[in-house]
């Protein structure tokens, strides 16, 4: 692999690093543990993507998203997804005013998706029609109300959660929609030490809702950091490494053990390779570098691939998870 040839000014990368360090410090002040979740949120924020989270309730996902929004001086909205939630409840609607003049009888009320950070809590409880209403917002960064397009604010980050326990009254996300999430993270329970610290902070009143986090950077700082991340150097050999990881999932019979290869029905789409390249650059900045190294790609492999692999019924019956397959994928490709 050739030596890194920097495309971004190292001073710019250092500036982006200072921005992220400030947000990280604000996060750790208000949220105990959850370092992996913080990393995933900041990577998606810097890379301009969206995050899908799988976890049981009560693990500070809403708090984490709100703290990040407050620390960047951005807007935050939380949407509780239910079966009766309508698309207009998310994107907004036209309001009729009978007392207004005919030419201004309808006014636009923008929905809660018009925010810098949007938390869709238990997205799989909303209907397929409502889930599809998020596609335009997530992909096109706009909504359409009454035939008029409304741009969403920048930065724009959607964090959607799924509860893996409850199955009653849920509508699984389609493959097309899960593919639009840049990363999928799985959040587990806190350690005993972290849980004791949570109780201590709660008793001390540090989690009071009337005590929002102070803004430590601006949304303008985040937009500049996003531009810097996009210019971070990634060697062609690392792009090939990411592409080969994705290709293994499409041709498992050639690269994986037979007992795992037969479990994969469909591999990852080209969006996976794009997600690898964009998030690896963000990971490099998070780690204080102005170029990508192989470990940046490997560290993100599970989060990039786990929701893009479609496993068959045999995998479910054998209790083989996508993470087991991703482990095998990483072993099958030589690290450059």
- Strand, coil or helix: 107: strand
Is residue 152 a contact partner of residue 93, using CB atoms and an 8 Å limit? no
What pLDDT is attached to residue 4?
40
Helices and strands counted in the chain (H then E):
16, 11
Task: Name, in order, each residue with C-beta under 8 angstroms of 80's C-beta and a sequence gap of 6 or more.
Answer: 121, 122
What pLDDT is attached to residue 203?
79
Tokens at residue 183, please?
């990363």
pLDDT of 22 strictly over 60: yes
Q: Backbone phi, then psi, for 189, in 5-degree steps?
A: -70, 150
Is residue 19 a contact partner of residue 221, using CB atoms and an 8 Å limit? yes
Could you tell me the pTM of the whole model?
0.90
Over residues 158-181, the mean pLDDT reads 80
Per-residue confidence band for 56, with pLDDT thresholds at 50, 70 and 90: confident
What pLDDT is attached to residue 316?
82
Reported as type and span, the H/E element at residue 106 is strand 106-110
pLDDT of 332 strictly over 50: yes
What pLDDT is attached to residue 104?
62
pLDDT of 21 strictly over 60: yes
Per-residue confidence band for 302, with pLDDT thresholds at 50, 70 and 90: very high
Q: 232-336 belongs to which homologous superfamily?
A: Magnesium chelatase subunit I, C-Terminal domain (1.10.8.80)
pLDDT in tens, 109-124: 898 999 999 999 988 8
Pick the range with the lowest mean pLDDT from 5-14, 197-206, 221-230. Answer: 5-14
- Please tell me the distance from the alpha carbon of residue 301 to that of residue 39, in angstroms, as a whole number: 14
What pLDDT is attached to residue 101?
58
What pLDDT is attached to residue 6?
46
pLDDT of 207 strictly over 70: no
Over residues 293-307, the mean pLDDT reads 96
pLDDT of 276 strictly over 60: yes
Average of per-residue pLDDT values in the chain: 88
Per-residue confidence band for 176, with pLDDT thresholds at 50, 70 and 90: confident
pLDDT of 20 strictly over 50: yes
Per-residue confidence band for 3, with pLDDT thresholds at 50, 70 and 90: very low
> What does the domain layout of the chain look like in residue ranges?
232-336
pLDDT > 90: what percent of the chain?
55
- Please tell me the distance from the alpha carbon of residue 229 to that of residue 226, in angstroms, as a whole number: 5
Is residue 89 a contact partner of residue 131, using CB atoms and an 8 Å limit? no
Over residues 29-57, the mean pLDDT reads 92
């Amino acid at each position: 692999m050739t030596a890194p040839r920097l495309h971004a000014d190292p001073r710019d990368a250092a500036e982006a690093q200072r921005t992220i360090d400030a947000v990280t410090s604000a996060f750790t002040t208000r949220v105990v543990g959850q370092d992996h979740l913080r990393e995933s949120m900041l990577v998606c924020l810097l890379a301009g993507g969206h995050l899908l989270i799988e976890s049981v309730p009560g693990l500070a996902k809403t708090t984490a998203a709100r703290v990040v929004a407050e620390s960047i001086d951005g807007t935050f909205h939380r949407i509780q997804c239910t079966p009766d939630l309508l698309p207009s409840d998310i994107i907004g609607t036209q309001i009729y005013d009978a007392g207004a003049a005919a030419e201004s009888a309808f006014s636009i009320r923008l929905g809660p998706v018009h925010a810098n950070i949007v938390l869709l809590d238990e997205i799989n409880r909303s209907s397929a029609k409502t889930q599809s209403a998020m596609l335009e917002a997530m992909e096109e960064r706009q909504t359409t109300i009454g035939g008029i397009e409304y741009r969403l604010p920048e930065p724009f980050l959607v964090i959607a959660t799924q509860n893996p326990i409850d199955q009653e009254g849920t509508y699984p996300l389609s493959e097309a929609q899960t593919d639009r999430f840049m990363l999928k993270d799985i959040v587990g329970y806190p350690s005993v030490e972290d849980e004791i610290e949570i109780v201590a902070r709660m008793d001390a009143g540090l989690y009071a809702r009337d005590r929002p986090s102070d803004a430590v950077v601006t949304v303008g700082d985040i937009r500049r950091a996003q531009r810097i991340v996009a210019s971070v150097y990634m060697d062609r050999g690392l792009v090939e490494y990411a592409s080969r990881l994705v290709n293994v999932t499409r041709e498992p019979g050639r690269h994986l053990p037979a007992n795992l290869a037969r479990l994969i029905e469909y591999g990852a789409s080209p969006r996976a390779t794009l997600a690898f390249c964009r998030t690896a650059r963000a990971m490099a900045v998070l780690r204080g570098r102005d170029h990508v190294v192989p470990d940046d790609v490997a560290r993100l492999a599970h989060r990039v691939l786990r929701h893009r692999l479609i496993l068959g019924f045999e995998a479910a019956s054998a209790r083989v998870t996508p993470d087991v397959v991703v482990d095998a994928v990483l072993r099958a490709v030589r690290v450059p």
